[in-house]
């Protein structure tokens, strides 16, 4: 009986040894931590928080409103700018054009008498009936009225031509500027994401560019690992690698090498490689698809490089 137990124990130990050996025959790998891209949203103009439409942990879609800032004065400014633009685009009213035309015609009619007086004064001056002063007075009055008629004609022509295009463009630019400020009063998610941190509450007054929320782009996961220099000859941009996490020990996730550092650095304390830790290493960034939404930032991950030669 005792020999039988010893024999069975030996078989179990041998099987365990085989299993251990089979587990050790794996492609070279390094460990790192899964990270995700973050977005820090804010308003470029600031204001008082009026409404909050999302809470921490909410899954947001592209364009979904997170919070709104008070913008009463901006709406009033926009109404004024829109009215000014409409006035400039409409141009002068027909009544204004008609009034300017009548003013020009009336002054032109008044000019006929001074012109006649000048002609008569020149005849009398030639006959030495009037003095130089009287002739100059008549000529000066006619010249003044001629300038008034020319000014009235210019005002009429300007009204007839309408508003200058440059003034209309200035008014449109002003309205566009106010619209941009109004859009900044509604802070929205730039893409599909998760609201990780909400930094404000209703009633807070925010200065321009003050962070309002931190968003996690859950579909933009990656893991940075560090590999020894001899591995660089076998690692290429776009190369597909296998990634495993502790939460799913029997599942391989597909990763893609997105970046290979051009400068060496010393091995970080939290990195584990199959090479000696005292050697310099190079950072590798591996992009991880997360269509199943099972990977999380902060998970420990092992990255396997199948194309590396097996360790001797």
The residue among 277 and 297 whose pLDDT is bigger is 297
DSSP letters, 157-216, are: HHHHH-S-HHHHHHHHHHHHHHHHHHHHTEEE-SSSEEEEEE---TTPEEPTT-EEEEEE
Total residues found in the chain within this entry:
312
Region 111-137: mean pLDDT is 76
> Does residue 244 surpass a pLDDT of 50?
yes
Same domain, 224 and 208: no
Q: CA–CA separation, 60 vs 238, rounded Å?
A: 30
> Does residue 259 surpass a pLDDT of 50?
yes
Same domain, 257 and 271: yes
Farthest-apart Cα atoms in the chain, separation: 163
Same domain, 238 and 288: yes
- Summarised one tens digit per residue, pLDDT across range 126-138 is 777 777 787 778 7
Residue 167 lies in a domain: no
Domain boundary residue, one of 198, 215, 232: 215
State the pLDDT at residue 270. 52
> Does residue 225 surpass a pLDDT of 60?
yes
pLDDT band at 311 (very low <50, low <70, confident <90, very high): low
> Does residue 212 surpass a pLDDT of 90?
yes
Residue 292 lies in a domain: yes
Same domain, 294 and 225: yes
Region 185-210: mean pLDDT is 93
E strand or H helix at 13, and its extent? Answer: helix 2-24
pLDDT band at 227 (very low <50, low <70, confident <90, very high): confident
Region 127-156: mean pLDDT is 80
> Does residue 5 surpass a pLDDT of 80?
no
Residue 223 lies in a domain: yes
Mean confidence (pLDDT) of the chain: 81
> Does residue 139 surpass a pLDDT of 90?
no
Closest C-alpha to 300, from 77, 112, 104, 35: 35
CATH number at residue 47: 2.40.50.100
> Does residue 269 surpass a pLDDT of 80?
no
Count of C-beta atoms within a 10 Å radius of residue 170: 14
Domain count, the chain: 3
Directed axis angle between helix 165-184 and helix 72-90, to 10°? 160
> Does residue 275 surpass a pLDDT of 60?
no
Domain that holds residue 205: 40-70+186-215
- Summarised one tens digit per residue, pLDDT across range 19-52 is 444 444 556 788 999 999 899 999 999 899 999 9
Same domain, 123 and 158: yes
CATH number at residue 122: 1.10.287
Same domain, 223 and 284: yes
Same domain, 157 and 200: no
Same domain, 207 and 222: no
> Does residue 253 surpass a pLDDT of 80?
yes
Q: Among the listed ranges 198-202, 258-262, 267-271, which one has the minimum average pLDDT value?
A: 267-271
State the pLDDT at residue 267. 58
Same domain, 191 and 252: no
Residue 241 lies in a domain: yes
Residue 121 lies in a domain: yes
């Amino acid at each position: 009986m005792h020999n039988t137990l010893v024999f069975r124990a030996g078989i179990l130990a041998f099987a365990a040894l085989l299993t251990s050996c089979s587990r050790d025959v794996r492609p070279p790998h390094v460990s790192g931590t899964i990270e995700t891209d973050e977005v820090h949203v804010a308003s470029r103009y600031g204001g008082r928080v009026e409404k909050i439409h999302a809470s921490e942990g909410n899954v947001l879609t592209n364009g979904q409103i997170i919070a709104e800032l008070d913008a009463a004065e901006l709406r009033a400014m926009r109404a004024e700018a829109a009215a000014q633009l409409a006035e400039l685009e409409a141009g002068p009213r027909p009544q204004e054009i008609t009034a300017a035309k009548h003013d020009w015609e009336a002054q032109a009619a008044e000019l006929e008498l001074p012109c006649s007086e000048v002609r008569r004064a020149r005849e009398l001056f030639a006959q030495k009936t009037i003095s130089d002063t009287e002739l100059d007075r008549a000529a000066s009055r006619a010249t003044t009225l001629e300038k008034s008629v020319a000014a009235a004609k210019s005002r009429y022509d300007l009204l007839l031509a309408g508003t200058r295009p440059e003034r209309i463009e200035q008014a449109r630019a002003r309205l566009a500027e106010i619209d941009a400020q109004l859009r900044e009063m509604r802070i929205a998610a730039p893409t599909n994401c998760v609201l990780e941190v909400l930094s404000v509450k209703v009633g807070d007054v925010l200065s321009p560019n003050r962070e309002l929320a931190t968003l996690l782009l859950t579909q933009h996961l990656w893991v940075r690992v560090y590999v020894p220099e001899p591995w660089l000859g076998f690692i290429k941009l776009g190369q597909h690698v296998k990634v495993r996490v502790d939460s799913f020990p029997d599942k391989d996730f597909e990763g893609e090498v997105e970046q290979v550092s051009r400068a060496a650095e010393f091995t970080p304390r939290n990195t584990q490689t199959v090479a000696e830790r005292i050697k310099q290493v190079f950072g590798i960034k591996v992009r991880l698809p997360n269509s199943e939404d099972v990977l999380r930032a902060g998970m420990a991950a092992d990255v396997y490089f199948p194309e590396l030669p097996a360790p001797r």
